[in-house]
Amino acid sequence: MNFTVNMIKEMEKNTKSKTLLVIDDEENMRHMLSSILSKADYSVDTAANGKEGLKMLERREYDFILCDVKMPEMDGMEFLKAAKGKIGDTTVIMMSAYGTIDTAIQAMKLGAYDYISKPFKGDEVKLTLKKAEEREALKKENIRLKEQIRKLDEGNSFGKMVGQSKPMKAVFQMAEKVAQYDTTVLIVGESGTGKELIARGIHYHGERSKLPLVPINCGGIPENLLESELFGYKKGAFTGADRDKKGLFEEANHGTIFLDEIGELPQVLQVKLLRVLQENEIRPIGDSKTKNIDARVITATSKNLEEEVHQGRFREDLFYRLNVLTINLPPLRERMEDLPLLGHHFIQRFNKKFNKHVAGVDPAVISIFQKHQWPGNVRELENLIERAIVLTDETILKPDHFPPEIGALSDKGDLEQLFKGHSLKEAQKVIEEKLIIKALRETGGNRTHAARLLEISHPSLLSKIKAYGITL
């Protein structure tokens, strides 16, 4: 699909149900513009001055605002200044019968897109709005093209996540597609695999990117407080409720709410969450009325929700409601080819944070990393790199910059993970390799001393190092 076709599609989409606010102190002008523009398929609201206009902005987002310059109580210029943080991407067009070039320039500096002089014909207003729509379509297409170029240049990232392995590229492709559709997403993966980073990436790659992303860890808040955090409460609902409080769903209205560790959600709240997903409405504690909510829901869990359903700890109907689109994040031990890229990424980050100049890691470090099981996944790797950079004064990270247990045989290690099959000969090889690595680390790579620790000859040690491909 080429640039022109994309732009036309964007323009066609943009002409449907565009919202517009007319701010003018003259009732006849408000009526005239409302009548003309409603017939042109705009959804039109009106306000008699800048103060009323600000109140309207608190209730609704608009694609366009037509605002008079001269008005009582709050004029157009004052409105522009006061509304600066609320307008966002709204296109503002100023109107005035007393216009000068200076007024137009001042309005542009305050964020207005265009300026039209009164009196004007209805076709003139529609043409100005059409030009603004074309500009927005071009701007969006430009942003899309730049994003496509960025993806082609990078190719190995999504949001703040990096990876070049096959499993991660599949995750990135899935997340890119999911981000374009306003549907519920379930992210599954072990602790430390980057579930929140994927959630953030989906939000910021989607149409709600300029609206709030509200995260909450369902396992990190006491059960008796979680309901009020999610849904809010009315003043007097319980002891200590001395004011109305918005819940996180309301804070995320028109944006995205990220419910991390959804498997920890108590069953009583599972029922209420199901209602939110089905009805798009919430009821604050102590309120007799419901509130409509438009929030995209992204959830994540390190638990097996199907097993939780089987055990009766998680509602089956809620599981199927959440499991519309699922992204499975692989553990680090299943994407070991990403280790060099991740290591470089974290070194760059912590160099900048701590004003260090670490250039990279010794190949022996990568060898050690590849033998480690990474129970803490990418978060564990990140913490190890940060620790090493803080402690080192060298430009290359070496094995002795990392804890000795990394990559070594754990006393509590699972034998089934270490040994395949039932061969004693193969088990002996695994143990030999682990002990040789441990001895080399403890002696700082001195093979003569390592041979003494292992109680074998120096030539025998060299032979085994070669046979096992040990690069330490």
In a domain, 316, yes or no: yes
167 plus 300 within the same structural domain: yes
In a domain, 147, yes or no: no
Domain with residue 46: its CATH number is 3.40.50.2300
416 plus 302 within the same structural domain: no
290 plus 417 within the same structural domain: no
307 plus 321 within the same structural domain: yes
Q: Please report the pLDDT score of residue 99 as a whole number.
A: 65
- Does this model's pTM top 0.75? My answer is no
Q: Which two tokens stand for residue 272?
A: 């209420």
415 plus 442 within the same structural domain: yes
Domain with residue 459: its CATH number is 1.10.8.60
In a domain, 153, yes or no: no
180 plus 312 within the same structural domain: yes
Domain with residue 250: its CATH number is 3.40.50.300
309 plus 343 within the same structural domain: no
Of 278, 302, 330, the domain-final residue: 330
Q: Please report the pLDDT score of residue 408 as a whole number.
A: 62
128 plus 39 within the same structural domain: yes
In a domain, 294, yes or no: yes
25 within 8 A of 46, measured Cβ to Cβ: no
70 plus 44 within the same structural domain: yes
In a domain, 152, yes or no: no
Q: Number of folded domains in the chain?
A: 3
177 plus 249 within the same structural domain: yes
Of 138, 171, 193, the domain-final residue: 138
In a domain, 38, yes or no: yes
307 plus 392 within the same structural domain: no
In a domain, 269, yes or no: yes
113 within 8 A of 130, measured Cβ to Cβ: no
pLDDT (tens digit, 0 to 9) for every residue of the chain, 472 residues total?
A: 343 444 444 444 444 568 999 999 999 999 999 999 998 889 999 999 999 999 999 888 899 999 998 888 898 899 998 888 788 788 999 888 876 777 778 888 888 888 888 888 888 888 888 888 888 777 777 676 556 545 544 556 677 888 888 899 999 999 999 999 989 999 999 999 999 999 999 999 999 999 999 999 998 888 888 999 999 998 888 888 889 999 999 999 999 999 999 999 999 999 999 999 999 999 999 988 999 999 999 999 999 999 999 999 999 999 999 999 999 999 999 998 898 889 988 999 999 999 999 988 888 888 888 888 898 999 999 999 999 999 999 999 998 899 888 876 444 444 555 556 667 777 788 888 888 888 887 777 788 888 888 888 888 888 888 888 887 6
Of 304, 330, 356, the domain-final residue: 330
Which range of residues forms the domain containing residue 178? Answer: 162-330
166 plus 121 within the same structural domain: no
Q: Please report the pLDDT score of residue 150 as a whole number.
A: 55
Q: Please report the pLDDT score of residue 354 as a whole number.
A: 94
In a domain, 154, yes or no: no
